[in-house]
Amino acid sequence: MKSRTKPALRVVPTAPVQLSLNIQGVLRDVQHAFYGLCVNAGKQVLAAMMEADRVALCGAKNVPDAHRRAVRGGTTRSSVVLGGQRIALTKPRARSLTRGELELPSFAWAAHTDPLDMATVASIAAGVSTRRYAGTLDELPEPDEPISVSKSAVSRRWVALSQEKLHEWLSCSLEELDLPVVMIDGIHFRERVILVALGIDTKGNKHVLGLREGSTESTRVVRSLLSDLVERGLDADRVRLWVIDGGKALRKAIVDCFGQLALIQRCQEHKRRNVIEHLPEQLHAGVGRAMRDAWDGANAELAKKRLVRLAASLHAQHPGAAASLREGLEETLTVQTLGITGALYRTLRTTNPIENLNGSIAHFTRNVKRWKDGQMTLRWVAGALSDAKGRFRKLRGHRDMKFLLTALNPNAGSATKAERKAA
C-alpha cells in the first residue's frame, strides 16, 4: 500500500495594513493556543507577511514592474521576541530607488510586540491557571527553539502585565471625558472589596474611571475613590446622575463630595429584592410585580403614589417590608422624574451595566484560590477590566442621551464639556 502524506500547510500572506488587526483577532480567538502557534508556526507566518510587504514595495519576483518603489536587497539574519525568548529568523530586505533600505511593516510590528504577553493575558482570561498553562501545549509539535512556560515564568509575565494595566486605570486623565452618568459598585473577594467606577459619556460610551480597594464599602473608601476621580479631571462642577445599588456609605460619600449636583438613582432591582426579603415567599411575586408596574410608568408622581399605597398596605403585617420600600423611595424614581423614557430609562434605572462588568471580573478571576493582598486583587481586577474593555458596547438607549443632558442641565441643553468651559 502507498503511504499517504499530509499536504503541506499553505500560508496565505496578509495585506500589510491588516497585520496588526488580524494578529490581535487571532489572539482573542485562539487564546492560550496562540503561544504554541507563535513558537511553531510564527516564523513561517511572519516570513510570509514580510515577503508580502516586499512584494508590495518591489513587485513580484522576476516580474518587471514600472511602478515599483524599491528593489530586492537579499536577506539578513535577524530576530524577534516571543514570550521573552529571542527567536532567530531570516529577514527579507528591500532598498528604495532613492533613499536606501526600507522598513517592512510586518517586521517592525513583530520587533516591537511580544505576542506571547497578550496570549498570556488571554489564557488567564479563559481560565487557564499558571500551573496548568504548560499543559495547554501538550498536543502541539515541539518548537524549533527552547521556550519557557513554567509556572514561575508565566506568573512573572502576568504580574508585570497586570501591574502595567493597573497603573493605566489608576493614573489616566479624565479631563477630556464628558460624563453625565457615573455608576459605582463593589465586587467582593473574601475579606476585600474592590470598588469600580464606570462612566458613561454623552454618546453612550462606557469608560472605567477608577478602582479602590478596601475591607468594606465604607464611606472613607468611597470618598477616597471619588477624590481620586476629581484629582484626575472628573468635572465636579456639573449636575451628574449617579446610579448605585443603595448602599448607605456609597450614597453618603457621593452627597458629601458633590452635594446637590449629585442626582442619585437607586437601583430599582436592588430595592425590589430588599423589600421581598422581608416577605413570605407567597407574596414575592405579587409585591414584586406591583413595584415593577409602578416603575414601568412614565409618570414619576403616579409611581410614587402607587408605591406609597403599597407600603401602607404592607405596614400592618409586614412592617419591615414597608420600611424597606419607604427608605430612599424617591431616589428609585430619579430617572423617571427627569422625564427619561424608553430604552435609556430601562438602562439607567438599575446598576445592570456595571454589574455585568463585575460579572466579567468574577469570571476572569474564578481560578484564583488565594488572594495574598490588596495589591494582587487590584492587579487581577485591572487585568479583567482590560480584557472586558474590548467587548464594551454603547449603552442601550444611547441615542436618547441628548434628552438626559437637557434634563440634567436645562439651561445648557446638550452642550459638551468643552462648550461649557468656553461659555
d(CA 291, CA 365): 35
* pLDDT tens track for 107-128: 887 787 765 555 555 554 455 4
Q: What is the pLDDT of residue 268?
A: 96
Distances in whole angstroms, Cα of residue 303 to Cα of each of 30, 293, 306, 336:
50, 8, 5, 9
- Going from N- to C-terminal start, the domains of the chain cover 16-149, 174-408
pTM of the complete model? 0.66
Higher-confidence residue of 53 and 305: namely 305
Higher-confidence residue of 375 and 153: namely 375
* pLDDT tens track for 300-356: 999 999 999 999 999 999 999 999 999 999 999 999 999 999 999 999 999 999 998
pLDDT(251) > 90: yes
pLDDT(270) > 60: yes
Q: What is the pLDDT of residue 370?
A: 81
pLDDT(290) > 50: yes
Average pLDDT over every residue of 396-417? 81
Closest CA to 292 of 246, 346, 354: 346
Q: How confident is the model at residue 75 (pLDDT cuts 50, 70, 90)?
A: confident
Q: What is the pLDDT of residue 27?
A: 38
The distance of Cα 404 from the centroid of its chain, to the nearest Å, equals: 24
Q: What is the pLDDT of residue 103?
A: 85
Average pLDDT over every residue of 400-423? 71
Q: Which of the residue ranges 51-65, 96-110, 317-331, 406-420 has the most confident prediction, judged by mean pLDDT?
A: 317-331
Q: What is the pLDDT of residue 311?
A: 96
Q: How confident is the model at residue 180 (pLDDT cuts 50, 70, 90)?
A: very high
In CATH terms, is domain 174-408 a member of 3.40.30.10?
no
d(CA 45, CA 110): 11
Which residue in this structure is represented by grid cell 479563559?
126
CB 209 within 8 A of CB 176: no
Q: What is the pLDDT of residue 334?
A: 96
pLDDT, mean over the chain:
79
Q: What is the pLDDT of residue 398?
A: 95
Q: What is the pLDDT of residue 332?
A: 96
pLDDT(85) > 80: no
pLDDT(41) > 60: no
User: String of b and e for 111-125 (b: at least 16 CB within 10 Å)?
Assistant: eebbbbbbbbbbbbb
For 389, phi then psi, to 5°, come to -55, -40
Average pLDDT over every residue of 33-51? 61
Q: How confident is the model at residue 97 (pLDDT cuts 50, 70, 90)?
A: confident
Q: What is the pLDDT of residue 421?
A: 52
Least confident of 272-281, 318-327, 353-362: 353-362
Q: What is the pLDDT of residue 10?
A: 44
C-alpha count within 13 angstroms, C-beta hemisphere, residue 112: 6
Q: What is the pLDDT of residue 308?
A: 96
Least confident of 45-49, 256-260, 287-291: 45-49
